Amino acid sequence: MPLSEHEQRMLEEIERALYQDDPKFATSVNVGRLRRRRPILAGVAFVIGLLMLVVGVIATQSVLALGVVVSVLGFFVMVGSVALFMFGQPGSRAAKTTSTENTRTSSSLSERMEERFRRRFDEQS
């Protein structure tokens, strides 16, 4: 469900305030946006690799060396896109193998951010 104009403005205001209060954390949140785009990028890269593979197979009929090179490059693009999809997901195995100390740190960070959020809106009211 799309956000209303009022909700969009509130979200933008919260983002600006977050950048002012804690720019390091705000930058790490933007990395999360990239993680949501990775499956799309991986899909596009996979299709490009597949097209390269097909073009390489067709090109082998006229120029053998060129066709083989394009096909191999297409294959590697496809493998890379699968790796991007598998390891770029927030719930991937690499993300799940964090230590308990990191989990405690992030929870305390989220608690601090939540407290700042509450204080900011209490001041506005």
Work out the pLDDT band at 94, boundaries 50, 70, 90. very low
pLDDT at 97 over 90: no
Q: What is the DSSP-derived secondary structure letter of residue 98?
A: -
Which two three-digit tokens encode residue 37? Answer: 């785009």
Q: What pTM does this model have?
A: 0.48
Residue 63: how many other CB atoms lie within 10 Å:
11
- Residue whose tokens read 């097209």: 51
Total structural domains in the chain? Answer: 1
Would you give the end-to-end CA distance of the chain in angstroms? 27
CA gap 78, 49 in Å, rounded: 5
Q: What is the mean pLDDT of the chain?
A: 79
Q: Burial, 17: exposed, middle or buried (Cβ in 10 Å; 0-12, 13-18, 19+)?
A: middle
Count the residues in the chain.
125
- pLDDT reported for residue 47: 95
- Above pLDDT 90, what percent of the chain? 33
pLDDT at 105 over 70: no
Range of the domain at 59: 5-124
